[in-house]
Structure 1
Amino acid sequence: MKRVSITGRTTLIGLGIGFILFRYSVYCLVASLFIGIGVGLIIEYILSKKSNIT
C-alpha cells in the first residue's frame, strides 16, 4: 500500500465526518480534516517502523 493512499483515505474519512458535523459548527469540519490527516500520518509512521524492523 502506498503511503500517499493511507493519508488520502484518512483525510477523506475525516472530511466525510466533518461534513456530517458541519451543521453544528464549521470548526468541526476543520478539526475533522486535521484529525484525518494526523491519523494518516501516524499510521504511515507506524507502518514504516514495522517495515524497517523486519
Structure 2
Amino acid sequence: MTIEPAGELQPGETLTVRSTCVYALSDSVGGIPGSLTVNSQFSSMVDPNRSLG
C-alpha cells in the first residue's frame, strides 16, 4: 500500500490523501496469475479552528 498526502496541514487548507494498493490475485483467488490495483483519493478541509501547535 502506498499513501501520498498532498497539501498543507494548516487550518482552513485542503488536504488530499491518495492511496494505492496492489493485490496479488494468486493470494486470494486460488492461484490465478496477475494482480489487481486499487486507487482511492479523499480530500477534506483542515478544521479552521484547530490548533496545530
Superposed pair shares fold, TM > 0.5: no
TM-score of Structure 1 vs Structure 2, range by shorter chain: 0.3 to 0.5
Give 1 or 2: higher helix fraction: 1
Give 1 or 2: higher strand fraction: 2
Which TM-score applies when normalising by structure 2?
0.33
Which TM-score applies when normalising by structure 1?
0.32
